């Protein structure tokens, strides 16, 4: 029913996945570099046939230096496809990629929004205490 694709979705699909899943909307100018500048990107598509490539319904990517630091970002699943294990499928693939290609003892981070916290905790992510995630306020 679903297939995992080891590449980014199209730009339009990326922007729609972010918007529809509740992540902050981005412009094409912001989204295009995310597709080409990530260390690794994957997405989930519905089954396809010879005339239809299927629909992109979930995604995730890794930003990193390839040495020791890897940040997981853009974990998104379309609302009508949530609670079917697609987020776990994406996260498992992202973590497998880090385990397979990163040097020993990588530092893997993410920002855990409330809907994803249970999934991330089940995969071994813990609070970065005493560190605190911060962002630049315009």
Give the integer Cα–Cα distance in Å for 96 and 116. 19
Counting Cα atoms < 13 Å in the Cβ hemisphere of 21 gives 26
Nearest Cα residue to 71 out of 39, 100, 34: 39
Contacts of 137 by beta carbon, 8 Å cutoff, 6+ apart: none
Q: Is 46 exposed, middle or buried (0-12, 13-18, 19+ CB in 10 A)?
A: middle
Residues 117-128 have pLDDT tens digits of 999 999 999 999
CATH top-level class of 2-122: alpha beta
Residue 22: predicted pLDDT: 93
Q: Is the dihedral of CA 90, 9, 28, 84 positive or negative?
A: negative
pLDDT at residue 1, rounded to an integer: 87
pLDDT of 46-105, one tens digit each? 987 766 778 999 999 999 999 999 999 999 999 999 999 999 999 999 999 999 999 999
Beta bridge partners of 32: none
Read off the pTM.
0.93
Q: Which of 89, 85, 79 is nearest to 16 (CA)?
A: 79
Calculate Rg over the CA atoms of the chain: 15
Domain boundaries, the chain: 2-122
Instruction: Tell me the longest C-alpha to C-alpha distance in the chain.
Output: 52
């Amino acid at each position: 029913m679903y297939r995992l694709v080891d590449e980014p979705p199209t730009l339009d699909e990326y922007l729609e996945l972010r918007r529809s899943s509740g992540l902050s909307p981005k412009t094409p100018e912001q989204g295009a570099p995310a597709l080409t500048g990530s260390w690794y990107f994957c997405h989930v598509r519905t089954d396809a046939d010879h005339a239809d490539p299927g629909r992109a319904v979930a995604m995730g990517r890794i930003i990193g230096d390839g040495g020791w630091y890897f940040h997981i970002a853009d974990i998104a699943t379309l609302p009508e496809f949530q609670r079917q294990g697609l987020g776990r499928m994406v996260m498992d693939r992202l973590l497998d990629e880090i385990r397979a290609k990163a040097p020993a003892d990588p530092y893997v981070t993410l920002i855990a929004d409330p809907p994803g916290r249970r999934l991330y905790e089940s995969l071994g992510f813990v609070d970065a205490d005493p560190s605190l995630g911060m962002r630049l306020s315009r």
